[in-house]
Structure 1
Amino acid sequence: MDPDPANQAKANLSMMHSKFICCKLYISESRNAMAIDAIDRAARSDPQVVVISKFEDCLYNRVRYTLVSYVANDSSTGEVIYSPIRKVLLAMIEAAFSTINLESQSGAHPRIGVIDDLSFHPLGQATMEGAAWLAKLVASEISNDLQVPVFLYAAAHPTGKSVGAIRRDLGYYRPNYKGNQWAGSILPDVLPIKPDEGPTHVSHERGATTIGATPWIENYNVPVLCKDVATVRRITRRVSGRGGGLPTVQALALFHGDDCTEIACLLDPDHVSANQVQTVVEQIAAEQGLEVEKGYSTDITKDMILDKYLKIACGAD
C-alpha cells in the first residue's frame, strides 16, 4: 500500500476519471494589468479546473492560458456530456470581453479578436471526438450569447479545415501597422468568408475567434538576431511543412524587440522535436550569415501536463 496521501488521492481521482481535456486559450492582451487580473480571477473560479501554465509576452501583447479538467461521459452511449472546463472558459472569455477593446490593442503578433484562439486537446483516455464536441459546444455559446463570429478548424470542422487556411482567408498574417505589427481590428465589417457559428458582421471591439480540436501541439520559438523580418520569413518558409520543410511544423516570423525576429513554431512532438526545429533554423540562418539564439518552449510537455493536473487537483481537494 502506498503510504503517501498525495499519491492515494491521485489514484482515487484517476479511478473516478480517466478522460481529461486540455484547452489552450489565447487572448490578445498582456499589458493591461486590470484585464489580466480579471481573467485570472475567472480562471480560478472552479478548483476542478487547473491553469497548468500561463505565458505572457508584452511585445506580442498576448497571453496564453493552458487549462486542464476532466470530461464525463454518458454511461450508456459513451458520449461526452460534461466538463467543468466549459464554464470556466466562458467566465474567462466574458472577463476578457469586458476589459479589453481590440480597437485600442496593438502588438507584434497577429490576431483577429480579443479571444484569438481556443484549441482543445484530449488527454488520458479522452477521444478526439470528445474534444471536438466540447470545442463546438463552446463555439456555439460564444457565438450565440456574445455575438462573436467563430471559425471552427481541424476535428471540430466538418471537413477538417486547418486553422492556417482560415487565417489566410481572413488576412490574419498581414501586418497593418508600422510594417510588422498589428493594431486595432484587421477584419472588415462583413467577413470575407462565412463563419461556422455566429454573425457575419464583426464587432471591432471584440473581433472574431477560431476554435478547434487537435492532437497535442507544442509552441517553440527561435530568436534570430536580425531586424529584417522579410529575410527571416524566407528562412521560416524553408522550416515549415507548408514550405517543404519539417512535416507538421507551422512557422511564423515575428518582430520581437529591437534586434530580433522570432520564428514562432507550432509542432507535433510525435513527428518533429524542438531540437530538430532548432537545428534546421541554425543551418539555414548560417547560410545567410545570421546568428541564432537557443529557442524556448512556452509550455510544459504533454507528459507533464496530466501529472501536474492530478497533483494540483488533488491538493485542492
Structure 2
Amino acid sequence: MKQSMLLCCKLYISESRNKTALDLIEQAAKLDPETVIVNKFEDRAYNRVRYTLVSYIAHDSTGCPIYSPLHQTVLAMVEAAYAAINLELHCGAHPRLGVVDDVMFHPLARASLDEAAWLAKAVAADIVPVYLYAAAHPTGKALDTIRRELGYYRPNFMGNQWAGWAQPEALPDKPNEGPTMVTRSRGIVMIGARPWVVNYNVPILSTDVTVTRRIAQMVSARAQSRSEQDRVQNHVEMLAAQEGLDVEKGYFTDFSPEMITERYIKLISVDSDEV
C-alpha cells in the first residue's frame, strides 16, 4: 500500500514577501497529484518559507527504492524558485546561502532513513552545487558543521541581516555535487536526510542582536520530540531573565509526523474523490 511507505521533504526557500514568486512555486508543486503540500510556514522578517511535502516511495522486486513522485515535484519547485527569485536582490533576518537554502528529507510511516537518504542523493544529482549532510553525506557530516565552514551564520548587512550573495564565487570546499563556482543569483543548496526533528521557536523581546544571538547559541537545537517544549521554553526564559529580557510563548513550526501522515492521507483521498 503506497500510504504505508511515505517520505517527507521540507523545502526551505529564501522568499516570503513576493506572492507572485510563491504562487509560481506552489503551482509547480501540483506536478503530481500524489505529492501534496501538507503545510507551509512563512516568516516575513526572515523572508523565508518552508514547504512540507509528502509522497510515497516505490521499490523494485528486491525491495530497493526506485521511485518517488517527490523527486520530480521538488525539482519543479526548485526550478520555479530559481526562475522567480534572485538571491542578489534578497534580504532577510535569517541566514541563507541560496535561493533554495535547504532540502531536508525525513522517513514517515514505515519508510526508513536509508530510503530518505536515497531520495536526497537522487535529488542532489539534479541540482548543483549541493552540499550533502547527515544520512545523505558519505560520513554523516552535520548540517551545522557545513554551514559554519561556509560562513552561513555571519550577517553581512545592518548587523543582523543577510543580503545578496556575500561569499566568494569560488567555494572554499568542493560540493558533493556540482562545480565549485557559484551562480550569484542562485547560491548553493544543502540537501540531507535525517530522523524527524521538531523546531520550536521562542521569541525574545529585544532589539539587542548580540544578546539574543548569545542566548540562541546556548539553547539552539533541534529536538526529537514535541514533549521537550517545556524544557526549551523554561531554559530560554531563565537565560533571558538573566539579561533582563522577557520572552513570548514559543510555537512549533510544523505538525508532528503522525499529523502530517494523517493530513496527507486525507488530502490524497479528497483529490481522488474529486477526480
TM class by shorter chain equals: over 0.9
Where 1:51 maps in the other structure, the secondary structure is strand
- Distance in 2, Cα, partners of 1:58 & 1:238: 25
Indicate the residue corresponding to 1:268 in structure 2.
224
Indicate the residue corresponding to 1:313 in structure 2.
268
Indicate the residue corresponding to 1:259 in structure 2.
none
- 1:199-214 matches, within 5 Å, as 199-214=179-194
Matched, 1:159 2:145: no
2:2 touches 2:56 (CA, 8 Å); kept in 1?
no
CA shift, 1:275, in A, is 2.0
Q: Return the match for 2:240 from 285, 288, 291.
A: 285
Q: Percent identity?
A: 57
CA shift, 1:18, in A, is 1.8
- Distance in 2, Cα, partners of 1:116 & 1:38: 18
Indicate the residue corresponding to 1:224 in structure 2.
204
Q: Return the match for 1:42 from 17, 21, 28.
A: 28
CA shift, 1:267, in A, is 2.2
Question: Is 295-304 or 201-210 further displaced after alignment?
Answer: 295-304
Indicate the residue corresponding to 1:12 in structure 2.
none
Runs of 5+ in structure 2 lacking a partner? none
- Distance in 1, Cα, partners of 2:14 & 2:2: 36
Give CA deviations for 1:101-155 in whole Å, capped at 9, x if unaligned: 0001101011000000000000111111110010000000112xxxxx1000000
1:187 touches 1:207 (CA, 8 Å); kept in 2?
no
1:17 touches 1:72 (CA, 8 Å); kept in 2?
no
- Give the letter for the 2:236 counterpart: V
Indicate the residue corresponding to 1:304 in structure 2.
259
Quote the RMSD (CA, aligned, Å).
1.2
1:55 touches 1:299 (CA, 8 Å); kept in 2?
yes
Aligned length: 272
- Distance in 2, Cα, partners of 1:295 & 1:16: 35
- Larger C-alpha radius of gyration, 1 or 2? 1
TM-score, scaled to structure 2 = 0.96
- Give the letter for the 2:51 counterpart: Y
- Distance in 1, Cα, partners of 2:137 & 2:86: 28
2:3 touches 2:265 (CA, 8 Å); kept in 1?
no
Cα distance change on mapping 1:108 and 1:98 into 2, 3 Å: same
TM-score, scaled to structure 1 = 0.84
